[in-house]
Amino acid sequence: MAVASSHLVYITPRMRSRHFALFLSVTPLTKMAAARPPFCGRRLPLTRPRSKMALASVLRSELPEFNKSLIKFNKIFPEDSEAIPEIVRDPPGPPRVLAAPPWGVEAAPEGPGFQMLHGTTTLAFKSPAGVTVAVDSRATAGSYIASQSVLKVLPINARILGTMAGGAADCSFWQRLVARQCRVQELRNKEPVSVAAASKLLANLVYQYKGMGLSLGTMVCGWDKRGPALYYVDSEGQRVAGRAFAVGSGSSYAYGVLDRGLAGAAATAEAACALARRAIYQAARRDAYSGGRVRVFHVGPQGWREESADDVAALQERYGE
């Protein structure tokens, strides 16, 4: 798109390539050929070791600066097994690229490229009354608390909920895609989609990207014609049905409270919600990466609804610690 201005654009090495593209678009067409990119890869000091992962320069999630905060995360979502024989791995050295970007390799990134929800606690469990889902609302980037009010429950439709743990963008994008596919399936079959089908759709989708850096640990909870249903799906490709799950860096703390109280919480929806709230609260107390507000949802035969949203500090007064 040619614009009337004819100013010369100085591109300094500090500019990012995407800014360069913007400048390129306002340079008149006659100058386009002359405006060559000033950096072409070799001259840049690459201070960080390159990752072998596909799309590494975009995702930037395997770079060393993330590794410290990834310790907890890697325990939950371990990397690919090292037992795969050497012959099928990429050979050591710079990663293969299909085509070099036209303006050379991107400059070394300054700061985290995007936020990941490493730290979180989410849980869900089934009871005859339905499925109770509880989440915290803290988002961290390393040791910085990026937000205390993240919505970690994503509705797939009126009867099915998905939770978010891992990468926020991964979770919300893929679950929205699954929501769309579920709606199409419902329109085609004239029957509400089952939770098993919704979770299988999600599991098959993320399996295609296995090993490419997706980070997703979600529970698909809903009520379908077979009753309450709960599935855990993650970016490793695992998909299991179960009665109770907790996901996230605080999951082990939540499991403790949840498992010990499950026997008594099956009676009513209120008791189930109280147990869920307490389990997330205890996890938020122990896990540094969980906190904010505790949101509790309940999925019954009529669909899901939010039962409560309490600040952790308010719960501390209520539980009297």
Min CB(282)–another protein separation in Å: 16
Min CB(132)–another protein separation in Å: 16
Q: Which stretch binds another protein (CB under 8 A): 142-150, 170-178, 203-211, 268-276?
A: 203-211
Residue type, 284: A
Provide CB contacts within 8 A for 308, sequence distance 6+.
273, 277, 294, 295, 296
- Under rule CB under 8 A, residue 234 binds another protein: yes
Q: Restricting to residues 76-95, name those near another protein by CB under 8 A.
A: 76, 78, 80-81, 83-85, 87-88
Q: Restricting to residues 251-290, name those near another protein by CB under 8 A.
A: 251-252, 255
Q: Which stretch binds another protein (CB under 8 A): 6-14, 25-33, 75-83, 161-169?
A: 75-83
- Under rule CB under 8 A, residue 227 binds another protein: no
- For residue 239, list its beta bridge partners: 233
End-to-end CA distance of the chain: 64
The single residue among 180, 243, 286, 305 that binds another protein, judged by CB under 8 A, is 243
163 is catalytic: no
Helix, strand, coil percentages in the chain from 3-state DSSP, rounded to 5: 35, 20, 45
Which token pair is 274? 């109280």
- Under rule CB under 8 A, residue 238 binds another protein: yes
- Under rule CB under 8 A, residue 237 binds another protein: yes
Q: Restricting to residues 133-192, name those near another protein by CB under 8 A.
A: none
Q: Is 124 helix (H, G, I), strand (E, B) or coil?
A: strand
Which residue in 12, 27, 120, 121 is the catalytic one? 120
Which token pair is 222? 């809903």
Do 198 and 182 form a contact (C-beta atoms < 8 A)?
A: yes
| Alpha-carbon span 175 to 158, nearest angstrom | 14
Which token pair is 207? 């399996």
Alpha carbon separation from 303 to 42, 132, 160, 247 (Å, rounded): 57, 12, 7, 23
- Under rule CB under 8 A, residue 232 binds another protein: yes
Query: What residues make contact with another protein under the rule CB under 8 A?
Result: 75-76, 78, 80-81, 83-85, 87-88, 203-204, 207, 210-211, 232, 234, 236-243, 245-246, 251-252, 255
Q: Which amino acids are annotated catalytic?
A: 120
